[in-house]
Amino acid sequence: MQKDLKIGMLAGAAIVLLGWILFALFSDTPQQRRLKQFETEPANPAPQTVQSIPAPVQSPVPAGTETPVPQQSTSSLDDQPQIHIVQTGETLGSIAARYYGNFSQWQKILDANQDSLQKPEQLKPGMRLKIPPK
């Protein structure tokens, strides 16, 4: 009888300990998990490739024909959104650090891509992200 009591007490203690460990591991809120993700970001992310769109090629104009002079755009390239192709291992924080110099600007990228990305956890290699201007 006393041996059964000891076994029961040990089993109960083990169950309580296991429950405590599981609670400690899985009780983070989604916001805490996102913060942990950024704490583990590499300080110097590997260089990434950015796909750029080439400028249109103008065909030669026959002599004697007048061509209108193209109007200069008043906006600079910094005011235009860019496209970024997500690489393996990248996070919204690392992408924000690359384009804005600050990983905490990741929300700006998430907001600009709500049509294809509702949560940071949905980020996958190969995705095309719009990077809004600074």
Domains present along the chain, CATH in parentheses: 78-134 (3.10.350.10)
1-31 as b/e: b if 16+ CB within 10 A: eeeeeeeeeeeeeeeeeeeeeeeeeeeeeee
The pLDDT value recorded for residue 74 is: 47
The pLDDT value recorded for residue 29 is: 64
Predicted model pTM = 0.44
Gap between the Cα atoms of 4 and 13, Å rounded: 14
pLDDT tens string 89-128 = 999 999 999 999 998 999 999 999 999 999 989 999 999 9
pLDDT tens string 21-57 = 877 777 766 666 666 666 555 555 555 555 666 656 6
Q: For residue 18, name the pLDDT band (cuts at 50, 70, 90).
A: confident
Say whether 71 sits in a helix, a strand or coil: coil
- Which residues sit opposite 130 in a β-bridge? 83
Q: Could you tell me if 85 and 50 are in contact, meaning their C-beta atoms sit under 8 angstroms apart?
A: yes
